[in-house]
Amino acid sequence: MTIPVTTYNLAADLGALLLRKNFSITTAESCTGGGIAYVLTAVPGSSAYLDRSFVTYSNKSKQQLLGVKAETLLQYGAVSKETVLEMAVGAAKAAGAEVAVAVSGIAGPDGGSVTKPVGTVHFCFEILGNQVLSHRIFDGDRATVRQQAIDFVLQQLILLLTD
């Protein structure tokens, strides 16, 4: 997988921020399939702030590894603010990390609906126990949606961690 230069630079900037704050990070990824962790670990020295990440593509794995409630998945679906909130909280707890990000979405080309079209991605950023929720609808094919989601995560974390 080739990492775009801008994405790598964002990951390096985020890594520097994490080091400066002495924070560790974890990811709980569904539609990005580990792409965020991949980009973070492309930066030399990233083991100083990334100990573990979770690729929880199925609902079962979200429940087993991150503690997402079956009721949440049933009521709101995997692609929802409620689910990513539980994913981020569970990942932060499981990893003992100060920073966690959770991502769940519909990268396509199938799986979209009227209320959740292809390109819909939900995010939860947890920093020191405080959560920030967000969602976006990205345009493009599967690879483009995933790349945009990864870049969005890096950009948002930099903004949230900058004093």
Total domains, the chain? 1
| CATH number of the domain encompassing residue 125 | 3.90.950.20
DSSP 101-155: EEEEE--SSS---SSS-TTEEEEEEEETTEEEEEEEE--SSHHHHHHHHHHHHHH
Longest dimension (CA), the chain: 43
pLDDT tens, 52-95?
999 999 999 999 999 999 999 999 999 999 999 999 999 999 99
Closest CA to 92 of 53, 64, 63, 57: 53
Lowest pLDDT segment from 50-54, 89-93, 104-108, 110-114: 110-114
> Is residue 88 a contact partner of residue 140, using CB atoms and an 8 Å limit?
no
Range of the domain at 149: 5-161
> Is residue 74 a contact partner of residue 81, using CB atoms and an 8 Å limit?
no
- Chain mean pLDDT for the chain: 97
